A = this chain, B = another copy of it.
Amino acid sequence: MPIYTCTTARDTLSGDDKATLAGEITRIHSEINHVPSTYVNVIFNELPTDAVYTDAKPSRPLLITGWVRDGHPEAETTRLATEVAAAATRVTGIPAERVLVVFESSPAHYAVEGGRVLPAPGEEAAWIAAAGH
């Protein structure tokens, strides 16, 4: 259900960094938002060094944007952002000052997976059972 996009300048992250960070994001998301880990997607968008700017200068931030369904308690989304940001620094060594985590959300019924409209938060169990997973 969720999609996390991690954007960096190329060669900022090693292959191990990516695999480990994907694992941490998946674990954190699954715990806080009560979604089986099999539904958590994490992608890395690694761009040329002349394609990433902060303060109008080439830079090496780690920008993580996540999409979640509307209806989770807002404090849990804040906790998700805080824990994902901490994991990003812990895994990659990139200082917190260069790590930005942002969540966007939209209604569950604006999304389809496995051919079916996503369940609202709190209704995952019935939805997953019906999928036969």
Chain A residues near B (Cβ < 8 Å): 1, 3, 5, 7, 15, 18-19, 22-23, 26-27, 37-48, 50-56, 59, 61, 63, 65, 67, 74, 77-78, 81-82, 84-86, 89, 96-97, 99-107, 109-115, 117
Contacts and interface: CB of A to CB of B under 8 A. Distances in A.
Nearest to A109: B78
A100 B100 CA distance: 25
A53 B81 CA distance: 19
A55 B38 contact: yes
B102 A81 contact: no
B114 A26 contact: no
Given A15-B50, A18-B53, A42-B52, 4 more contacts: A22-B56, A39-B55, A41-B100, A96-B114
A67 B67 contact: no
A74 B107 CA distance: 9
A23 B48 CA distance: 18
B106 A110 contact: no
B51 A47 contact: no
A50 B112 contact: no
B110 A78 contact: yes
B67 A65 contact: yes
- Among all A-B residue pairs, the 3 with the closest Cβ atoms: A96-B115, A22-B53, A44-B51
